[in-house]
Amino acid sequence: MTTLCYAKKTCSIGIHVLMEEVGLPYDLKIVDFSKGEQKTPEYKALNPKGKVAALVRNDGSVLTEYAAIAMWLAMTNPEKKLVPTDPEGLARTIEAMDFIVGTVHMLSWRLFRRPDAYSDSAEDHKQLRERGMNAMLAAFDVVDEQLSGKDYLMGDFTIADTALYYTQYWAVDVAGWKLPTNVQAHYERMKARPSVQASRALEGVS
């Protein structure tokens, strides 16, 4: 059975949503970051990158990185229609997902949450956190325009929406920020999906 290695309040939230969308049986293996389990020899043997999500597939092979896992789940379950089949639609889906993972998450949220990764000076941390927050909210403004007149990023629900969801979760439920109008409407729409409700129950949020 496929096993999803995850940690709470991480991007693995979005992969968990996708696992629920696919609807096939799977196991969950929590990697407790507060205990440093991502750095243990046991986990590093599974994923040398020491990150989540990691997907252990039925044949024992391990797939890592958000976009790779999301694309594999979509393409091995085509009946779920998690990505468009036309070249333009597929490219635009990857474009949207890459912007969210690369800019909203890695360049913005990480700066806000982990200023210590960029400076050893406690005096710098406040400025770095503010810079990260402003960058993330600016990125959400770009996404807000893309969502204008649409329920989901591509019109229909795709893997890109799961990436947007986990960053929305961070912004609202972790940081307490206000989202732009269309991004907030998308967030409410996502929270109504059974897959997201299952993930939120796992995370311990209503």
Q: What is the pLDDT of residues 123-154, one digit of tens each?
A: 899 999 999 999 999 999 999 999 999 999 99
Q: What percent of the chain has pLDDT over 90?
A: 98
Q: What is the pLDDT of residues 50-79, one digit of tens each?
A: 999 999 999 999 999 999 999 999 999 999
Whether the per-residue pLDDT at 122 is higher than 90: the answer is no
Q: Mean pLDDT for the chain?
A: 97
- Sign, CA torsion 89/91/93/95: negative
Mean pLDDT of the 182-194 span? 98
Q: What pTM was computed for the model? A: 0.96
Provide CB contacts within 8 A for 121, sequence distance 6+: none
Mean pLDDT of the 91-115 span? 97
pLDDT value, residue 113? 95
206 vs 192: CA distance, rounded Å = 11
Q: Kindly report the CATH number that applies to the domain delimited by 87-203.
A: 1.20.1050.10
Mean pLDDT of the 36-42 span? 95
Residue range(s) occupied by CATH 3.40.30.10 in the chain = 2-80
Provide CB contacts within 8 A for 162, sequence distance 6+: 14, 15, 17, 18, 21, 70
Residue range(s) occupied by CATH 1.20.1050.10 in the chain = 87-203
pLDDT value, residue 58? 96
135 neighbors 108 (Cβ within 8 angstroms): yes
Partnered with residue 4 across adjacent β-strands are 28, 55
Q: Which CATH architecture has domain 2-80?
A: 3-Layer(aba) Sandwich (3.40)
Q: Which residue from 103, 170, 107 is spatially nearest to 95, judged by alpha carbons? A: 103
Whether the per-residue pLDDT at 18 is higher than 90: the answer is yes
Whether the per-residue pLDDT at 206 is higher than 90: the answer is no
